[in-house]
Structure 1
Amino acid sequence: MNSFLGLGTDIIEISRIEKAIKNRRFLEKVYTSEELRLIKLKGDKAETYAGRFAAKEAVSKAFGTGMRKVIFSNIEIINNELGKPIVKFKNNIEDYAKKYFVEISISHCKEYAISTAIIFRREDEVGN
C-alpha cells in the first residue's frame, strides 16, 4: 500500500497568466515544449496555461517545498489518452521523484484555475 506524503492546492487568476504568457521568457521558464505543444492543440487558451501553472504549484506544495526548491519546467503536466492530467518529472528531480506517485486534478471557471495534488510514497519506497 502506498503511504501518503502530502497534499497541495493552488488557485490562480486566469487574467494574471493571460498577461504573463505574452512574455516568451515566462513561457520558457514555466512550461516544457511538450506542454506548449499540448496547450496549442487545446486551442492556446489562457485557462489551459493557468491550469498547468496551478498544477505545478500544487505539486510543489504537496512535496512541502513550494517553488523555492523546484524549477517550474522540471514538473511537466501532460494528459493521458483519456485526457486525465498526469505529472512527469524532468531533469534534476526525475530520479528523486521516482519514489513518489502523484494524483492531480485541474479545473477552471471564467476567472480562476485551480489544481489539487496528492502525493504518495511508492510501496517499494516506504520506510526508505
Structure 2
Amino acid sequence: MIIGIGHDMASLTRIASILDGEIGEKFLRRILTPGERDTLAGFGGLRRTEYAAGRFAAKEALSKALGCGIGGELSFQDMEIGRDASGKPCATLSAAAWGRLGKDAARTRIHVTITHEQPFASAFVVVEEVKESVN
C-alpha cells in the first residue's frame, strides 16, 4: 500500500551560490550526513552542485512522502540518500526517525529517483508499506 509520494526540485544555480558563499560548509553540514559529505568530497564543479542539490531535493521529497515535512519528526540528518549495489538511489532513515514517525522500518520500502538537468535537480519519492518484512 502506498503511504505517500513526494516531489521536490532544487535550483542548481541557487545551490551553487550557497556552496560558493560563506555559509556553504554550514549548509552542507545541515543537509548532508557525514557519509554523504564523504561522497561529496570526491566531486568538484558542477557534479558537486548536482550531488548536493539532488540530496537536498530527495530529502525534501521524502519528508513530503512521509507527510511530516522537515523540522518536527524528521531532520536532514535522519535521512541518508545513498546508492544500492547497482547504483540506484536509495534512502535510509535513522532508527530514531522511524520511532518518531511511528512506522515499521522492516515493513516500509522507500523508492527514490533523482535527476539533474539545467537549471534544476529533481527528486521523486514513493513510500510503500508492505505486508511482509523487506529485510
Task: Give TM-score, length-normalised by structure 2.
Answer: 0.81
Residues 103-112 or 20-29, more deviating: 20-29
The structure-2 alpha-carbon separation of the partners of 1:74 and 1:58, relative to structure 1 and needing over 3 Å to count, comes to: same
Runs of 5+ unmatched residues, structure 2 = none
Shift of 1:93: 0.7
SS in 1 for 2:71: helix
The offset of 1:122, in angstroms, is: 2.8
Structure 1 stretches of 5 or more lacking a match? Answer: none
How do 1:1-128 residues align onto structure 2 when only pairs under 5 Å count? 3-22=1-20, 23-43=24-44, 45-69=48-72, 70-90=74-94, 92-95=96-99, 96=103, 98=105, 99-124=107-132
Seen in structure 2, the aligned counterparts of structure 1 residues 25 and 91 have a Cα distance that, compared at 3 Å, is farther
Q: Please give the per-residue CA displacement for 1:39-59, whole angstroms capped at 9, x wherever unaligned.
A: 233445101110011000000
Q: Using the aligned pairs only, state the percent identity.
A: 28
Specify the code of the residue in structure 1 equivalent to 2:7: T
Of the structure 1 ranges 20-29 and 76-85, higher mean CA displacement relative to structure 2 is found in 20-29
Distance 1:6 1:28, change over 3 A: same
Larger displacement relative to structure 2 (78-87 or 111-120) = 78-87
Q: Closer, same or farther in 2 for the Cα pair 1:81/1:26, shift >3 Å? A: same
Distance 2:118 2:40 in 1: 18
Amino acid aligned to 2:78: N
Aligned CA RMSD, in angstroms, stands at 1.9
